[in-house]
Amino acid sequence: MPDLSELDPRLAEAAAHLPLAEATLDRLRRPRSSLQVSLPVRGDDGQVRSYPGYRVRWDVTRGPGKGGVRFHPSVDRAGVERLALGMTVKTALLDLPYGGAKGGVRIDPKAVSTAEIERVARAWVSGTADVLGPERDIPAPDLYTNERVMAWMVDQWTATVRRHQPAAFTGKPLALGGSHGRATATADGAKHVIDALGTKLDLSGTPPTVAVQGFGNAGAELAEQLFHAGWRVVAVSDSQGGILAREGLDIPRVRRHKDAGRSLDGVICTGSVCDDPGHDLLEPGELLPLDVDLLVPAALGAAITADNAGDVSARVIVEVANGPVTADADAILAARGVTVVPDVLASSGGVTVSYFEWVQNRQGLRWSPEEVDRRLGERLRAAAEETWSRAEDLGAPLRTAASALALERLDVAARARDSLE
């Protein structure tokens, strides 16, 4: 059985601050279930190709599994399991009635057609249907999946179980039971966290500067929100490169140029920020060392490692991607006085509004955009304040504090369950 430190040394560090029951630690050492399926799908050329698909529920002590489904060529079982463990911590930190889960398909969505993506999405639901459901495990969008992919999935689910169960998936289009605010929830949540901690983190420049790595759904939306709030967004990048303007970028214009290259009817975007002329171009890796007040890694995991953490000049990092800072990099950044707002807090807006969508579906209600944002702001700001207070009490980084709060809630739930067994 793996030790918790082998799975996540930073989570083990948080656990060391707490009198956790051994049964709680035992629950966290392995996934509750880890399913791998083969998805044979006929391509547009008539050839059948099999794609590996995954769904992992790491822990369901506090409720059904919750977590996104990603389509990416780097998806593998070990990575999905790590993400499911992270979702377990995230849902507990936000005090949501969920456990942690994650799913994915190893596929390059940029190399296939819209029709092929739809067939893969439907095949994934058919292959994992036995472990899904509104009271068992509820998928949502993630990397290279969106509300359109969720529409295909919920349609396939309805055909599979022969029941109308909109609460089985979140991140759906409004017409199929989706929630206002879900499409921008990750960015909205990150902005609430930044606002809650801004004074504490001394993000009060005139104006403060920010660089955003990853100009996808969450990164682009957060960049635009910061732009409209008066921040100077000096650099953004995507998978094809980046652009820099020390006087500040016109983010709405950059988004228009990137969206002009959109293809596959909105499933993915093939445009790049580099398509917007009139700026200095950045090579891969040149954005992270920029001298800015705030650095936002919003792309893939492990963007900041021991190899480049020493080059980071920002005073604050807000993790909008899942796991963009590695454990080794965390130690280097802490030694240099860089504050990292962890992903389990900063990127929790998505799962929080997914929870709101699930609640609305189960009650047959639809909240207004204002109601969703009010509830999101209250929950995210409270979690940010609580995390900051715990960090001060422990004399520890924000990540350790966030994990400690989550582990406490998991421990309470595990002890309550065990007392009934």
359: buried, middle or exposed (CB in 10 Å: 19+, 13-18, 0-12)?
A: middle
Over its C-alpha atoms, the chain yields an Rg (Å, rounded) of 21
Beta carbons within 10 angstroms of residue 264's beta carbon: 17
List the beta strands (DSSP E) in 171-289: 209-213, 232-238, 241-244, 262-263, 268-269, 280-282
* Tens digits of residue pLDDT in 101-126: 999 999 999 999 999 999 999 999 99
pLDDT at residue 16 tops 90: yes
Confidence band (pLDDT; 50, 70, 90) for 264?
very low
Task: State the pLDDT at residue 280.
Answer: 87
φ and ψ at residue 316, rounded to 5 degrees = -135, 140
Confidence band (pLDDT; 50, 70, 90) for 275?
low
Confidence band (pLDDT; 50, 70, 90) for 239?
confident
Task: State the pLDDT at residue 3.
Answer: 81
Task: State the pLDDT at residue 279.
Answer: 73
Task: State the pLDDT at residue 305.
Answer: 97
Superfamily for 185-346?
NAD(P)-binding Rossmann-like Domain (3.40.50.720)
Average of per-residue pLDDT across 386-409? 98
Domain borders along the chain are 32-176, 185-346
State the virtual CA torsion across 326, 81, 140, 242 in degrees, nearest 10. 30
* Tens digits of residue pLDDT in 353-363: 999 999 999 99
* Residue 170 vs residues 115, 182, 190, 238, 416: alpha-carbon distances, Å: 22, 9, 19, 26, 28
Domain boundaries 32-176, CATH class? alpha beta
Q: Catalytic pick from 66, 90, 102, 191?
A: 102
CB 172 within 8 A of CB 150: yes
Task: State the pLDDT at residue 276.
Answer: 52
297: left (phi over 0), alpha (psi -120 to 50) or beta: beta
> How do 339-341 and 33-42 pair as beta strands?
unpaired
Task: State the pLDDT at residue 420.
Answer: 54
More confident residue, 261 or 383: 383
* Tens digits of residue pLDDT in 69-98: 999 999 999 999 999 999 999 999 999 999
β-strand partners of 105: 53, 71
Whole-angstrom Cα distance, residue 356 to residue 94?
13
Task: State the pLDDT at residue 151.
Answer: 98
Task: State the pLDDT at residue 84.
Answer: 98
pLDDT at residue 304 tops 80: yes
266: left (phi over 0), alpha (psi -120 to 50) or beta: left
Amino acid, single-letter form, for residue 297: P
Average pLDDT over all residues of the chain: 94
Confidence band (pLDDT; 50, 70, 90) for 5?
confident
Whole-angstrom Cα distance, residue 408 to residue 64?
19
Let me know if 258 is a catalytic residue. Answer: no
Segment among 128-142, 280-294, 387-401 with least mean pLDDT: 280-294
pLDDT at residue 269 tops 90: no
Task: State the pLDDT at residue 258.
Answer: 87
